[in-house]
Amino acid sequence: MEPYVDDEVLIQIIKTQHSILHLLNHTLNDTVTHQRSLPKQEQNKDLIHLAEQTRRVIARKPKLKAAYNKLKDDPRFAFDGYLE
């Protein structure tokens, strides 16, 4: 029985997903860091809350973290584990 999707296609999907999540995680982190560096009266509390909550949902999933950590030793993947 042949697989429905070529392994290379799945590898590319995983790499792309990881890159997108990595970029989003860092962008959200930079947003929070920048907002917190502003004087209190200039901080956008709603934006800080949204960015922090989104990071929790996207970047801190135990099952996703475990899956990426399993792949980090596979030479076909060019990323270091989970979303740091």
pTM above 0.95, yes or no: no
Q: Report the C-alpha gap between 68 and 84 in whole angstroms.
A: 11
Beta carbons of 68 and 82 less than 8 angstroms apart: yes
Give the residue among 24, 63, 69, 5 at the shortest CA–CA distance from 77: 69
Give the model's pLDDT for residue 22. Answer: 85
pLDDT exceeds 90 at position 84: no
Q: Which pLDDT does position 1 carry in this prediction? A: 54
- Give the three-state DSSP class for 79: coil
pLDDT at position 56: 86
pLDDT in tens, 17-73: 888 888 898 999 999 999 999 999 999 999 999 999 998 887 667 787 788 778 777
Q: Cβ distance 43 to 36 under 8 Å? A: yes
Pull the structure tokens for residue 1.
């029985």
